[in-house]
């Protein structure tokens, strides 16, 4: 494998993606998070499969760095219980109801 070519192509791809980022969406997200903190509300971050670990990491970062009340549902017991009782496609909604 030609790693030099690979990394050149990879950095080119990232650069193109960044050029197309809608910064209005980033601004809206920051405002939403700031308002959530100001109003003492909570943010729930959910991931499926391996993304559950990413959701957990993001949740910790929000709590630690931004001091935002943030939770995630990555407890296998909770997921399987709620998926069993409410069907898999409904477990997140039911978990939010239970923890709100």
Domain ranges of the chain: 1-41, 44-100
For residue range 71-97, list pLDDT tens digits in order. 998 888 999 999 999 999 999 999 999
Alpha helices, H only, the chain:
3-19, 23-38, 51-61, 76-86, 91-99
**Largest Cα–Cα distance in the chain?**
53
Residue 5 has pLDDT above 90, yes or no: yes
Confidence of residue 100 (pLDDT cuts 50, 70, 90): confident
Identify which of 82, 60, 79, 81 has the alpha carbon closest to the alpha carbon of residue 71.
60
**Whole-number Å distance between alpha carbons of 44 and 29:** 14
Using alpha carbons only, how large is the chain's radius of gyration in Å?
Answer: 18
For residue range 12-55, list pLDDT tens digits in order. 999 999 999 999 999 999 999 999 999 999 999 998 888 999 99
Identify which of 83, 50, 42 has the alpha carbon closest to the alpha carbon of residue 95.
83
- Facing residues of 62 across strands? none
pLDDT at 85: 97
pTM, rounded to two decimals: 0.72
């Amino acid at each position: 494998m030609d790693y030099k070519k690979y990394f050149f192509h990879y950095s080119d791809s990232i650069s193109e993606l960044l050029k197309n980022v809608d910064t209005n969406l980033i601004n809206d997200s920051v405002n939403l998070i700031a308002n959530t903190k100001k109003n003492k509300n909570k943010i729930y971050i959910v991931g499926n499969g391996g993304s559950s670990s990413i959701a957990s990491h993001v949740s910790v970062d929000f709590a630690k760095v931004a001091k935002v009340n943030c939770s995630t549902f990555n407890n296998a017991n909770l997921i399987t219980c709620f998926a069993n009782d409410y069907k898999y496609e409904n477990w997140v909604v039911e978990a939010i109801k239970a923890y709100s």
